[in-house]
Amino acid sequence: MFEQLGSSELEVPVTTDIAGKSDAHAVRLDKEAPEAIRKSSLHRKVASTIFFESNGGMSRSKAEATLPEIKTGVGDPDLNLVDVDNVLEGLVGQCFYLNWDRNRYRFGLTPNLNQILVVRRGAVQPKAIDERIKQDTEKLFGEGSKDIDRRYCPKRSNDVPNRPVLTLVVLGVDAPAGAPATTQLMESIVRDCGTSGRTYKSALIFTAPDSGDAIREAARDCLAWEDIDDDAETVGQLDEAQKRLLDAQSGTGQGRLKESLWRSYRDRCNQRILCRVVS
Looking at the fold, whether 105 and 165 belong to one and the same domain comes out as: no
Burial class (CB in 10 A: 0-12, 13-18, 19+), 66: middle
- Structural domain harbouring 76: 2-110
* pLDDT range class, residue 3, cuts 50, 70, 90: confident
Give the C-alpha separation, 29 to 38, whole Å: 8
Looking at the fold, whether 229 and 121 belong to one and the same domain comes out as: yes
Q: Is-contact 1 7, C-beta < 8 A?
A: no
Of 95, 110, 125, at which residue does a domain stop? 110
Looking at the fold, whether 177 and 259 belong to one and the same domain comes out as: yes
Least confident range of 153-167, 201-215, 238-252 = 238-252
Looking at the fold, whether 175 and 250 belong to one and the same domain comes out as: yes
- Greater model confidence, 106 or 272: 106
Asked if residue 242 has pLDDT above 90, the reply is: no
How do residues 124-168 score in pLDDT, each as one tens digit? 999 999 999 999 999 988 887 778 899 999 999 999 999 999 999
Looking at the fold, whether 27 and 104 belong to one and the same domain comes out as: yes
If DSSP states are collapsed to H, E and C, what string results for 73-100? HHCCCCCCHHHHHHHHHHHHHHCCCEEE
Q: Give the pLDDT of residue 238.
A: 81
Residue 4's CB: how many other CB atoms inside 10 A?
Answer: 7
CA atoms within 13 A on the CB side of 206: 30
Give the C-alpha separation, 221 to 148, whole Å: 32
Looking at the fold, whether 46 and 182 belong to one and the same domain comes out as: no
Domain count, the chain: 2
CA atoms within 13 A on the CB side of 254: 9
Looking at the fold, whether 136 and 7 belong to one and the same domain comes out as: no
Of 110, 137, 163, at which residue does a domain stop? 110
Asked if residue 56 has pLDDT above 60, the reply is: no
Q: Among 34, 30, 26, 33, which residue's Cα sits nearest to residue 98?
A: 26
Least confident range of 46-50, 95-99, 214-218, 242-246 = 242-246
Which range has the top average pLDDT, 47-56, 98-107, 159-168? 159-168
Looking at the fold, whether 193 and 249 belong to one and the same domain comes out as: yes
Looking at the fold, whether 14 and 83 belong to one and the same domain comes out as: yes
Of 110, 133, 167, at which residue does a domain stop? 110
H-helix or E-strand spanning residue 145 = none
Q: Give the pLDDT of residue 276.
A: 41
Looking at the fold, whether 252 and 276 belong to one and the same domain comes out as: yes
Looking at the fold, whether 248 and 124 belong to one and the same domain comes out as: yes
Looking at the fold, whether 186 and 117 belong to one and the same domain comes out as: yes
For residue 245, give Cα distances in angstroms to 249, 253, 270.
6, 12, 35
